[in-house]
Chain A
Amino acid sequence: MSETLSTTARPAATPPPSPPGSSSRSLAIARLRDLALVPAIIAVAIVGSIVSPVFLSTDNIINVLQSMSEIAIVVLAQTIVLITGKMDLSLESTFGLAPGIAAWLVVDPALTRGLGLDVLPDAWAVPVVLLVGALVGAFNGLLIVRFGLNGFIVTLGMLIVLRGLLTGISGGQTFFMLPESMTYLGSATWVGVPASIWLSLLLFAAGIVVLGYTRAGRALYAIGGNADAARAAGIRTDRVLWLALIVASVLAALAGLLISGRLAAVPSAQGSGAIFQVFAAAVIGGVSLNGGKGSVFGAFTGVLLLFMIINVLTLAGVPAQWTNFLNGTVILVALVVSRITGGKAQT
């Protein structure tokens, strides 16, 4: 029926003007946007293998993947929030606070010079970590979604409050003697590869599917692109936003659990300052700070590129005092590169 209609109706209608200029080209670029960093990653790999033969060894690749696995999960969390057009600075504090609270509640003070309360059995540690994440996300949502406060300022406040809370309960010390349930995920090895690598790759794969192929995931893009239009399309924007903030905080808490497990300790400064690297990785990976644009795969390439470059610099024997300077330079250079390959200003 539609066939006949379109053939009969078309001659009557004047064809609309061809879309302005370069739409077919921008279409191709939009598709390639996801892969924009792949050439850069290959280039760094080549440079790395020239700098040091160790670079492409299995051990070093696993080393790079493990060192980035925790931050990568926070990048995934931030990507989810950024796509909705919000931002969550407090993720870095949740990253430290969630395992910190769990350790505080389960660690025996007799063994740790008075740190901890030992009020919960060890088995509760992991559920507590995730619960703290969920509560932080829910509270962020309460202030941002329900009370309509500015997300940047709310999560900046939360960043300071949560960090302060961790410092308070730990007295500025480091929790140690963690129960095995807390250290397992961060230290176990599955099929010869650390569990944290498996987990981060799995979570990214899940993120690609959820954000690319489910209505809930597409709702994130719709809200970030035009919240009014999303509402008009019947999307429950408030609920989706709230959920995105909770999922992001839970992911950050899980990432914190992994690094605590790897180090078998929760320092009171765990995650402090990490949010800048997280933002940089997401933006380099093509996620827009204005919302509505970016992909989970892109974010993954962003964080991978950052950590590969850091690894190459380490292998090249760059003194540790210069690491921060080079880190910042890498971020700026990566932005310029993605501006050139993407053809559009990063926002």
Chain B
Amino acid sequence: MSPLPQRSTDGLVGADQPVVEAVHITKRFGSTVALADAGIVVRRGETHALVGRNGAGKSTLVSILTGLQAADNGAVAFAGRPAPPLGDRDGWRKRVACVYQKSTIIGTLTVAENLFLNRHARGRGGLIRWSRLRRAAEQLLAEWSVEVDVRQPASTLSVEQRQFVEIARALSFGARFIILDEPTAQLDAAGINRLFARIRELRAQGVTFLFISHHLQEIYEICDQVTVFRDARHIVTAPVAQLSRSALVAAMTGEDVTMPEADHRPLPADAPVLLSVRDLVTASGAELSVEVRAGEVVGIAGGGGSGKVEVAEAMVGLARPAGGTVVVDGRALRPGSVPDALDAGVGLVPQDRHREGLVPLLSIAENVTMTVPDRIGRRGLISPARRDALARDTIADLAIKAAGPRVPVADLSGGNQQKVVMGRALASDPKLLVLITPTAGVDVRSKQTLLGVVEEVRGRGTSVLVVSDELDDLRICDRVLVMFQGRVVREMAHGWSDNDLVAAMEGVDLHHV
């Protein structure tokens, strides 16, 4: 096989044929019906959104469209021709490519080798010609204007660069139909903009996209058509322009959902200051000083690299700060000590639930009670009954969809996993709740529950710090501190306009230019 990227679209004839057409797809896993007579039609050159809550059947459809699984019933056709048999990986790769949330890049190998894995350029005697392979890789990335040094190990790539490399690799197989599975989940605002610019560019060159996202705003920004799945069924396909946001949400949930709006009544004048952060400086140089009163919800907004996550992690002890003091309810926290922060009454929802938030193989009960061993046991021994009782409360309070407290967290959907993380943060009845990107990668309904919890705990006098660049997360805050390049650049009281806040996060002042 030639290592040089092919730009032909052989095998994909008939410009009027849809790029992919899946009809009457049914797929069962045991007793669970993952897809029930569902289907999708994606036309050439469009960017098609596929939305639905967690568990709606999107992932199953993607694995059927990419040939990783066979449907029990129904048919998939590419450009009017039936899909190749499952074993023909090359056949599938010429027609469709998917950039999964989980990377298929091998971090220990170089970028160049990742691009041409198992199809290395070979010279005489079947030996790999590394110089030729590197040139081919450079050429391929240049062709799609991805600026990455192909000699570096892929583990050094940022999420965004990794996605671009995966897209370039997909295109090099000849596929002109690319599925992006929640590509924006781990990107900051600037990264999303660059990704979208890239998508538009590629669309102009005739590439068709199927775009999966939880962020409805992105769908309105980048997509032409939208298909909604709910409970394993196809609900509607319509041009994005003809579907209002509320109609789209209604299609996804089967009912109207509104995001919780804080009842922004002023705090009592005598509300004590619960959190006092003075001149906190992180190892990366970001700075923050803030005072939060009991019952107050304060947002810390900013794009990637603004330092918002770093200051939050330094505050709760996940990272050791370079300087400054953090005082919670009159008690100074020991720098860089999570146990001390927990002991002082801090509850934390960390940024990455997979890495810091959960132990996936342990049960919901064990995860929820991880920070409060003393509340579920006596004399050093844990009582399973008390543990499960506590977990059952959490499951009920946060509407976690699970058969019981003993279910392993790994079996839950993303939204429900995040609720478990929230449950763990709340288990200790914290005085201060620190939420870092609490709704990243969760569906609309779970988002509503998670943000609703904030409303509830503030009523009990808990202070809440919301660290996020999601407008929905920030809307529940009484005030928002906007960080840019490691400094707080603006403070906005509740009632800010979306444009103002986004502009401030991007370092632009709309009123003073």
List residues of chain A with CB under 8 Å of any chain B CB: 1-2, 5-6, 9-10, 12-17, 19-20, 23-24, 26-27, 30, 209, 212-215, 218-219, 221-222, 224-226, 228-230, 232-235, 288, 292-293
Contact = CB atoms under 8 A, between A and B. Distances in A.
Interface of A (DSSP majority class): helix
Given A13-B145, A218-B113, A229 B158 contact: no
Contacts of A288: 108
A13 B122 CA distance: 33
A221 B113 CA distance: 11
Contacts of B108: 221, 224-225, 288, 292-293
A215 B119 CA distance: 8
A6 B106 contact: no
B201 A16 contact: no
A331 to B, nearest CB: 24
Contacts of A17: 158, 160, 190-191
Contact of B126 (A14, A214, A219, A234): A214
Contact of B197 (A10, A14, A27, A214): A14
B506 to A, nearest CB: 13
B227 to A, nearest CB: 25
13 contacts: A6-B143, A16-B160, A19-B148, A26-B153, A27-B152, A215-B126, A218-B120, A221-B108, A225-B107, A229-B103, A234-B118, A235-B117, A288-B108
A20 B197 contact: no
Contacts of A224: 108
A5, A224, A226, A234, most chain B CB atoms within 10 A: A226
A213 to B, nearest CB: 4
B7, B153, B164, most chain A CB atoms within 10 A: B153
Contacts of A14: 193-194, 197
Nearest to B304: A17
Given A19-B158, A233-B118, A214 B106 contact: no
Given A19-B149, A213-B127, A229-B106, A12 B194 contact: no
A214 B104 CA distance: 21
Given A16-B194, A27-B153, A5 B105 contact: no
B375 interface: no
B106 A222 contact: yes
A16 B146 contact: yes
Given A16-B164, A218-B113, A226-B104, A23 B120 contact: no
B90, B104, B118, B126, most chain A CB atoms within 10 A: B118
Interface string B446-487: 000000000000000000000000000000000000000000
Contacts of A212: 128
A5 B7 CA distance: 12
B161 interface: yes
A23 B156 contact: yes
B402 interface: no
B303 to A, nearest CB: 11
Contacts of A293: 108
Contact of B161 (A19, A221, A235): A19
Contacts of A218: 109, 113, 117-118, 120, 128
A209 to B, nearest CB: 7
Given A230-B118, A292-B108, 19 more contacts: A9-B201, A13-B197, A14-B194, A14-B197, A19-B156, A19-B161, A23-B149, A23-B152, A27-B152, A27-B153, A27-B156, A218-B117, A219-B118, A222-B118, A225-B107, A229-B103, A233-B104, A233-B117, A234-B118
A159 B464 CA distance: 57
A221 B153 CA distance: 13
B142 interface: yes
Interface string B154-174: 001110110010000000000
B224 to A, nearest CB: 20
Given A19-B156, A27-B152, A226-B106, A215 B147 contact: no
B139 interface: yes
Contact of B153 (A30, A215, A228): A30
B28 interface: no
Given A12-B201, A16-B146, A27-B151, A225 B106 contact: yes
Given A16-B164, A27-B149, A214-B127, A229 B104 contact: yes
B168 to A, nearest CB: 12
Given A209-B127, A222-B118, A10 B107 contact: no
Contacts of B156: 19-20, 23, 26-27
A323 B349 CA distance: 52
Nearest to A8: B145
B89 interface: yes
A24 B89 CA distance: 35
Contacts of B5: 2
Nearest to A6: B142
B470 to A, nearest CB: 21
Given A222-B106, A222-B117, A232-B104, A16 B147 contact: yes
Nearest to B142: A6
Given A15-B147, A27-B149, A222 B109 contact: yes
B490 interface: no
B198 interface: yes
B64 to A, nearest CB: 16
A27 B109 CA distance: 11
A212 B477 CA distance: 56
